[in-house]
Homo-oligomer: A and B are copies of this chain.
């Protein structure tokens, strides 16, 4: 079996999603950025059936932060988003929460899976980063080799049943002359967060220090760049945690589900 650690970056990028998932299923663990280039990566939110309506309604009411790419119903462990795959094993690393507290970071869900669990597969802004780069807009966290910085904001998401929480945003510093282009390009990807929710003033979102993100890593902001904020797929995880369900499972930051859907399929004209 191949090993990610022995591969050149180009080889990782050229892997099929199915091949990448098989290596994760075999227990290899690494962040998914740069693997299977051109295929959509996704956030995970797994909750018991009794909470599933509230989570789906939360997504319906907060479509910019929670674009649903697919739902695996209770008892279902695969779908056309991960053909031949298994949601319990095919993500490199998971986070398990009990009563809102993280209790484990397993590489598969064998010890935690129950047949009443419902899986929400949520779009991720990684999908539009390739389109930004193709247009000559550099993506700082990729250039700097770190995870995208994410921040809890002072804005509340729309509540749904027991689920309520802050809007979480990801931030990319964009050269002032390219901010309009970044808006235009990302607005063509409404299924993966779409246009920015805020441009230029972190204080107004209640973000005091860009160097201290709540999730992911800090990035250096190049001279002349403006911080641009997009709604983030970690938002449903943050909200579900606030409601402290007996069990909830997400992906570990940066360790996403690699789907069989091409990024371009989420582009609108």
Interface residues of A (CB under 8 A from B): 49, 52-53, 56-57, 59-61, 68, 71, 73, 118, 160-161
Contact = CB atoms under 8 A, between A and B. Distances in A.
Contacts of A160: 73
A17 B60 CA distance: 25
11 contacts: A49-B53, A53-B53, A53-B56, A53-B118, A56-B56, A56-B57, A56-B60, A57-B73, A59-B60, A61-B71, A73-B160
A142 B65 CA distance: 40
A50 B61 CA distance: 20
A161 B76 CA distance: 11
Q: Which 9 A-B pairs have the closest CB atoms?
A: A53-B53, A56-B56, A52-B53, A57-B71, A60-B68, A73-B161, A56-B57, A53-B56, A56-B60
Tell me how many chains of this kind the complex includes: 2
Nearest to A55: B53
A61 to B, nearest CB: 8
Contacts of A161: 73
A136 B118 CA distance: 48
Nearest to A73: B161
Contacts of A53: 49, 52-53, 56, 118
Contact of A60 (B49, B61, B71): B71
Contacts of A118: 53
Contacts of A57: 56, 71, 73
Given A53-B53, A53-B118, A60-B60, 12 more contacts: A49-B53, A52-B53, A56-B57, A56-B60, A57-B71, A57-B73, A59-B60, A60-B68, A60-B71, A61-B71, A73-B160, A73-B161
Contacts of A60: 56, 59-60, 68, 71
Contacts of A73: 57, 160-161
A184 to B, nearest CB: 12
A53 B73 CA distance: 10
A53 B49 CA distance: 9
Contacts of A68: 60
Nearest to A56: B56
A73 B118 CA distance: 20
Nearest to A60: B68
